[in-house]
Structure 1
């Protein structure tokens, strides 16, 4: 089986509750970079980033998150969508590939997974790039309302809390993704072909279970899986991240307006740089790949400077 990402063969690794499907690009002796996609997106968010990093002699690993693509859930824990699960998946994939340390970079769900992994396993994170900042959720505060303009953009949180929303996701995966993409990135002129590439990753037996559990868990409407109880307790303390970090905000993000980064700066105890990428929406790597690749190289530079 091959990935449409340049025809690169998909590889597989069994990692705890998952059989992960991923692409592994670039020289094996290159510094590893793990790129993590969001929802409702897939590995093709990083297509334009890959060539930029490959030119810099980096080993680039892009997994399909649980419930996506050909990543297979091997047990019930693999159908959880909670933050501890997707963060643990990153470390378990690194273990399977015998990677001690890597730069972790992501947006949306992928940014959350990267933040969780960097916070709970700091020795494994050589540097971090996270779109929209510190993404570890305060699940206990999920009942607190946000400003109405923000709540309106998160309509799918509440839709997926209902049986009707679950049925809607089952039946309308493509069109729900189109609505989210359009609202998240109002300046991104994506094509039907772009959407088709991503939507193919949603034809996964665990997709609906993982997505529904993710949004219900973060609102306190569904319990977490027993496998992740201790990790969630740790995450409830809002652990800091010590790895050198570059946070990015899209200047044209339709749901999450850009900030100066000061609201979450206290969570980053290592060197922290914040950038606003003008013209970018929520899917920042695909919309502005040069800015995302530059952020990865900057995080690496900061890490090497700290080591000297």
Structure 2
């Protein structure tokens, strides 16, 4: 598997992002090996909070949240998915599969020996993270889901997602920073947009960003559908704390919180919240509020 590695110079002097990089070599069931970047902030003896980003962002998305969680005494792990951020990027679109991404993140969890994890997942972070929870129920203590879902392809994904999927395949140039800006309620400054563009010096680095939208299961016979149904079999019996922290202005995942609240027993008696003033990328719009909600969720569910 051929991979691309974004030069370190691309990540110099990014606004509000002075975290130290960490790296692991990970492999998968298909024999693919690559380097994954992750942030590891806070007390190393504290139970970890695992923050998983989605498409087409990277761990820069969590820059507002991490310092608040660390100040509250938590350890925070925020990886870049392969194909994004400072992680290696497979050069061929065919090298991007749902299964591989679950395997690669499983390797991160295994190598860091994470236990008693609190997961926060958004967008594709949920598609991967909820599979990790189902595969490793003993490792996870709590789950917080924001603007995400675990689709099986058995239900219509909705017009908003279908339009996004088509756009991702048809647009001549995939403007990552502009896409993230369009998914927020607040208008991002140019230096923030540039920071989201930083991992992608040219279009050859964006094969993952283009491929992810069509990896989402939208038909019952999708290659990932059976695995996601099996994961739902586990989640439907999950009694540990599970909270939904969605935002009020996301046209893609709106209503997914109610499905989780109906199907996952651990959602009962939790302080589910619709965060006002937040778009799809609620970490950008309401990062500070989201961080405080996570701190309260952990404190209320020791």
TM-score, normalisation: structure 2: 0.79
Change (3 A) 1:286 1:213: closer
Deviation (angstroms), 1:210: 5.9
Corresponding position: 1:173 with 2:174 = yes
Deviation (angstroms), 1:218: 2.1
> Residue 69 of structure 1: SS of its match in structure 2?
coil
* Alpha-carbon distance between aligned partners in 2 of 1:79 and 1:232, rounded to the nearest angstrom: 20
Residue 66 of structure 1 corresponds to which residue in structure 2? 82
Corresponding position: 1:138 with 2:175 = no
Q: How does 1:213-224 map to 2 (within 5 A)?
A: 214-216=213-215, 218-220=217-219, 224=223
Residue 108 of structure 1 corresponds to which residue in structure 2? 123
Residue 156 of structure 1 corresponds to which residue in structure 2? 164
Corresponding position: 1:262 with 2:258 = yes
* Alpha-carbon distance between aligned partners in 2 of 1:40 and 1:92, rounded to the nearest angstrom: 21
> Residue 64 of structure 2: SS of its match in structure 1?
helix
- 1:163-214: CA deviation from partner (whole Å, max 9, x where unpaired): xx2xx3xx5222x5414531x32x2121111111111123486641464155
Moved more, 110-119 or 29-38: 110-119
Residue 123 of structure 1 corresponds to which residue in structure 2? 138
RMSD of aligned alpha carbons: 3.3
Moved more, 86-95 or 273-282: 86-95
CA contact (8 A) 1:216 1:222 kept: no
- 1:101-160: CA deviation from partner (whole Å, max 9, x where unpaired): 311112111132222222232111121111135x11113x26x473xxxx1454121244
Deviation (angstroms), 1:63: 0.7
Match of 2:60 among 36, 39, 44: 44
Q: How does 1:67-106 map to 2 (within 5 A)?
A: 67-72=83-88, 79-82=95-98, 84-106=99-121
* Alpha-carbon distance between aligned partners in 1 of 2:244 and 2:46, rounded to the nearest angstrom: 23
CA contact (8 A) 2:51 2:121 kept: yes
> Residue 35 of structure 1: SS of its match in structure 2?
strand
Moved more, 28-37 or 215-224: 215-224
CA contact (8 A) 2:43 2:74 kept: yes
Q: How many residues align?
A: 282
* Alpha-carbon distance between aligned partners in 1 of 2:300 and 2:229, rounded to the nearest angstrom: 30
Deviation (angstroms), 1:8: 2.2
> Residue 258 of structure 2: SS of its match in structure 1?
coil
